[in-house]
Amino acid sequence: MAKKKVKKEEENESAGRTGDFGSAISALCEEKGISKEKVVETIEAALAAAYKKDYGKRGQNIRSEFDELTGGAKFFLVKEVVDETTREFPVEEEEVEDEKKKEKKGKVVEVSTDNFSDEERLTRYNAERDLTLEEAKKIKKDAKVGDIIEAELEQKSDYGRVAAQTAKQVIIQRIREAERDSMFEEYKNKEGEIISGVVQRVEGRNVFVDLGKSIGVLFPNEQIERENYRLGQRVKVYLQKVDVGTKGPGITLSRTNPDMVKKMFELEVPEIFAGTVEIKSIAREAGERTKIAVASTEDGIDPIGSCVGQKGTRVQAVIDELGGEKIDIVLWNEDVAKFISASLSPAKVLKVDIDEEKQEAVVSVLEDQLSLAIGKRGQNVRLAAKLTGWKIDIKGITAQNDTELETQKNTEEIQNDTELGTQNDTEVEVQKDTEAEETEE
């Protein structure tokens, strides 16, 4: 009875150790954000390195298999089947020379390069990691060149301090690599998205933002002018680019990218997120002004009203996040003249003359609207040109010219009405003649 109790206690202790080990793996995976397979693979690599350090030989390729249930491991000596086409086999004379070289330790041996050919030499045969085809067929009858033959090794449980240190270093290095890869994949998938972060530090003009699992950098050319950042400040940034780095993913952030305004509207306006309202084009001068052209994909939906929101709540939320940047929302139109006229809002346009071949447009406005159409330092017309993709020239006309323009329009309308009336009179006379002929008959 006593022996049975001791056995049960040992089993319970081993089960407890296994359970603790499994929970430690799960905790590590959750903390570092890496998969369980990666952690198990790391443990196997560490065990193989420790086994080779204490019980293996130089040049051997040892693989281990970790058992999560028992906490034990199996070890295998891995060899590749080779022949003369894949390996360079040593000649007896070379073997004798190698032995002589080993005896002359500490002496400098000059090696002549005259005997080496320009062609790339094959890897030398190593009995510890290679098997000839004849030897492999003794183990496996259908073996062929390139096959991998594994032989199970004796299991060991006692390892020295150096082997344990080696295993520790392997685990630390592999876990760091897996963590870097995991973070890179995570943030790579978020490229072109808006993410929130906290300003961690400011070095010179570079601002480092803590994004949670990693840190991104906001370079001076990606910052809005006259915008100040303080430590601990929460900001929304546009994830512009993710590169592979030695200490983790190199994340470049931006607050000046035009797509940031587009993504902000997607977050604030459900119609844009759903696809019923579409942002056709966008032009931005960060910190100053932005123009966006919107259109509706469904009848009955006002695209401008959807973006503005009730009492301007939606557009105001975007403006506040961008530090008070002005935003003009205009209606996109397939008619180029109407689109250009709308893009110059808030200026009132009288006439638009377009040259499709040169992609140029001449816009006529009243003299008192000229400065409004051009904007401060030409900002309004510059943004309108970016928004439409056309070169725009603004021409101011006086009130007298405006009257002449209206008169010309009225004259054209009268002429059209006269022509239409004449056409109708002619149709009536023809109809009367036809009826008279029918009566005589």
In CATH, 337-423 is 3.30.2320.50 = no
What is the dihedral sign for C-alpha 337, 339, 343, 346? positive
User: What's domain 190-254's architecture?
Assistant: Beta Barrel (2.40)
User: Which architecture characterizes domain 28-91+122-189 according to CATH?
Assistant: 2-Layer Sandwich (3.30)
Query: What is the pTM for the complete model shown?
Result: 0.60
Encode the chain (441 residues) as per-residue pLDDT tens digits: 444 444 444 444 444 444 566 677 777 777 777 777 778 888 888 888 888 888 878 878 888 888 777 777 888 888 888 887 777 777 654 444 555 555 555 444 444 444 444 445 677 877 777 878 777 777 877 778 888 888 788 777 777 787 778 878 888 888 888 878 878 888 888 888 999 999 999 988 899 999 888 888 999 999 988 888 889 999 999 999 888 766 667 889 999 999 999 999 999 999 998 889 999 999 999 889 999 999 998 888 899 999 998 888 999 999 998 888 899 999 998 999 999 999 998 888 888 888 888 888 998 888 888 888 888 888 999 999 999 988 999 888 876 555 555 555 554 554 444 444 444 444 444 354 545 555 554
Q: Which residues contact 333 (CB under 8 A, 6 or more apart)?
A: 339, 342
**What is the Cα–Cα distance from 31 to 54, expressed in whole angstroms?**
32
| 3-state DSSP helix/strand/coil % of the chain, to nearest 5 | 45, 25, 30
* Residue bearing tokens 């780095």: 245
* Dihedral sign, Cα of residue 190, residue 194, residue 199, residue 203: positive
* H helical segments located in 213-312: 258-268, 270-274, 303-308
For the chain, give every domain's residue range. 28-91+122-189, 190-254, 257-332, 337-423
Same fold, 190-254 and 257-332: no
Q: Which among 297, 419, 274, 290 has a CA at the least distance from the CA of 343?
A: 290
DSSP code for 255 = S
User: Contact 170/201 with Cβ under 8 angstroms?
Assistant: no
C-alpha to C-alpha distance for 188 and 251, rounded to whole angstroms: 9
Sign of the CA dihedral with 237 first, then 242, 243, and 244 last: positive
Closest by CA position to 224, among listed 282, 284, 283, 313? 284
CATH 2.60.40.1930 fits 257-332, yes or no: no
Q: Which residues pair with 236 in a beta bridge?
A: 196
